Amino acid sequence: MKNKRCTKEIEALLNQWYGKSAAPSEINRYNPVPVSLANVVESVAAKVIPPWELKISEVKENWENVAGKENARRCKPVSLNDHVLYIEVMHPMYRMVLDTPKIKQQLLERIQQITGKDLCQELKFIIGGRTPR
């Protein structure tokens, strides 16, 4: 209630100083500029979350595009440690297939397109069931 009264008093003063036609634009000039919530969250996240973690989150979000639909159903990235991205694979036989040099290199190149070559330098496939679904 007090805030409304204060606002009305300020509006009355501005009406006196600038006149009824110019007062509304002056009132708007002193109000803060609206900012989208997405921009606020992004700026706070940039200050709080390390950049490498944002890159790994981006890999996880785009995993189906990175690994392919079939691979994404059977495996998922779980953690990054010492430039090694650990990928959890749900079946040991599928792990052997993904661990072949050609497929592993293709997957690493797609991941490095998002993270850069310095952040992720190697892939390790681990047996599934270690992390909660």
CB 54 within 8 A of CB 115: no
Alpha-carbon radius of gyration of the chain: 27
3-state secondary structure 53-72: HHHHHHHHHCHHHHHCHHHH
DSSP code at position 49? S
The CATH number assigned to the domain with range 50-127 reads: 3.30.300.180
What residues does each domain of the chain span? Answer: 2-31, 50-127
pLDDT attached to residue 101:
92
pLDDT of the chain along its 133 residues, tens only?
456 677 778 778 878 877 878 777 777 776 778 889 999 888 888 888 888 888 889 999 999 999 999 889 999 999 888 999 999 999 888 899 888 999 999 999 999 999 889 999 999 999 887 665 5
Model-level pTM greater than 0.75?
A: no
